[in-house]
Chains A and B, each alone.
Chain A
Amino acid sequence: MVLRDFIHLAATSLAARRLRSVLTSLGIGVGIAAVVLLTSIGEGVHRYVLSEFTQFGTTLVGINPGRTTTHGTSMGVFGSERPLSIEDAEALKQLSFVEAVVPFVQGNAEVEAGNRRRRTTIYGAGPQMPRALRMRVNSGEFLPHDDPTAPRALAVLGSKLRQELFAYRNPLGQRITIAGNRYRIIGVMEPKGQVLGFDLDDTVYIPAARALELFNRETLFEIDVMYRANASVERVVEGIKRTLLARHGREDFTITTQEQMLDVLGSILNVLTFAVAAIGGISLLVGAIGIVTIMTIAVNERTGEIGLMRALGARQAQIMGLFLGEATVLAAIGGLAGLAMGLGVASLLRLALPELPVHTPWIYVVLAEVLAVVLGIISGILPARRAARLDPVEALRDE
């Protein structure tokens, strides 16, 4: 039997029972569609979260007061006997690989401009913040390089807060009152949107030392260090650790690198995507059982045909190949149909729910099709073996 005959035989026997073939393929197709769609959503969410994190740059190291406890975050943020101070932040600037250092304090207060008031988030930050976090100033300028321990009372508004307080008037040079203290506005930031639950537009940025005073705190929430792209992370962490150890006498701070965070997040999201895909894969399993069932029936029905072929000299391997081929073609067609369905629904989702990130990498598409074919082969093995082992004499008598 040449290959062409082989394909011809398989194709005609599938075409002869068109409805049956279509339904069998459909079973696999639904499974593949579910897997493709679910992994697309998983991958989309994965990318979305990573881009949320990396939009601040990847060469960042965060330092928090207090040692890490078992649940990841340090309680030192709320209060610590060994605070992280503005002087600490200044000391870190001396390190050779450091590009920018931003001290952070965060709080909540009422901001008043003229007769408009709004309760909003106050960020105490350093002058290098736009550079370190890749944020842009829309008009005016960001906080100037004042004496870090006694800065002037200047403020920069987030775009949404500017809209709320000043509507269409020019806020630059205006005075606002933050919890009773007067500040002069020197800049407005470009819109940044929500980042992981924090609305960065509904905020006002003031110098960190002023924020510490305002909230009557001793310790900063965090110091963000941006390092040069060519410096190795280990060296950076080592350097920061040495500086702070020299200042504090012991390790009472926590250093988190952006890379660590991305690694942890990435692996969590991968596991989630895999789990969801596996749940979708249950349908695939059922589809495979469908192929087994239909092929078993086919072998039963075509006992006479098989007997004839064997009598005419077809070897066992050829019979087996024929049935395996049929099962594989069924699964492959089902896989293609499933891919089309999955991708179709994915693009529909993208249209209907633009905020739900959906992304289908090509490798998934290829993998899904390979999976379908492999499933076809596996589920074809049992029926095909039965067909191949039929005794030609018995099989012919069956007719």
Chain B
Amino acid sequence: MGNNLIKKILAKKLGHEVKVGEIIYIEPDLVMTHDHQGPMTIREFENIGADSLWNPDKVILVMDHRTPSQTLVAVENHQKLRKFARKYGVTKFFDVGEGVCHDLVAEKALVRPEMVYIATDSHTVTEGALGLFATGVGSSEMASIFATGKVWLKIPETIKVTLKGTLQKGVYGKDIALRLLEIIKTGGADYKVLEFGGAGIASVSAASRMSLCNMCLEMGAKTAIFPVDKVTVEYYKEKGVEVQELYPDEDGEYISEIIVDLDQLEPLIAFPFSPDNVRSVSQIGDEVYALNQSVIGTCTGARYEDLKVAAEILKGKQVRPGTRMLIVPATKDLMLRCTQEGIIETFLKAGAMVNVPCCGPCGGYGMAVLAEDESSITTGSRNFVARMGAPGAHIYLSNAATAAASAIEGKLTDPRKYLSDS
């Protein structure tokens, strides 16, 4: 039996073939921690008592969760991390305002195909979109990697996800993720890899792939991965980086296959209180789900394609009075581009608020918090109880187009009627 993508990448790096279920020890090509798990990581690193990092050039620190400097404790944590970076020679340091970690490492082309990338964040799996092995660990384990430069991994089983057809108007990677959540359910892919393939992937942008891989974590996946195809090669080419295409073997090893027909896929929404509680926008019918808030932000829906379609929908329209809208671009460079292209102006004229790049609204971190009887649509990845504030608050997850259209109407709305056919 041949290699799937993960086995292929790990075998190449180790210099020998690997078997599913086998335990390997490996040196990551890059690791990352941020201002949420970073303070605990450096505390535990100090508990180990090592006097240096195994390789400061392979360590990335990002200040994104509690930014900009939300509280006294948060700002003290940022101070600690800055000091740590200076003391141990970490130069890949992204300070307050630069953007959300998973977007930054891709935007700056730090993560590359075929790498092993480990970070203290569950959504590290996002980076699999670019054809690498990316997964999350906790702070103590990262502290141990900081000191030793190695991590143990069990070679996981892989589920093949074949995409056929073409993504339709108003439908994005987020909707593929929600469809898969509906099929697989939360925890349904525990410890497994979701590997994407099929002719349909050509219509899925790198941005959409990142949102999709990100949310595979909600299914319990150890990671998710796309082949390195023309879309990925083009993504890196625009950054002046050359990468080689990479595909699994024809007879790659999979435990099952799921087929998603993109031609049939509609914009989807996850209802409270689980990302797998999914309905399509067209199924909502006459029931009115009124919204106090609409959020476009986080690492699952605030990239260029998301903000662009949101601006297309909001242009010349107004956010409905009584509904607040918050837009948080994923990175500073993206925010600059959107400013130059008039996208930010469109948002402000439509009555939306625009905040500096950060995780903020994803988990009620200092903004977009909900009261007990309120509800919000968001491009975030989680709608668990109390994720955005009060335990009773309702969170609906959608793509950016749906969040924009819903802001105009003040209720859950199908975005397709706001999009031209071209």
State yes or no: do A and B come from one complex.
no
Q: B residues touching A (Cβ–Cβ < 8 Å)?
A: none
Interface residues of A (CB under 8 A from B): none
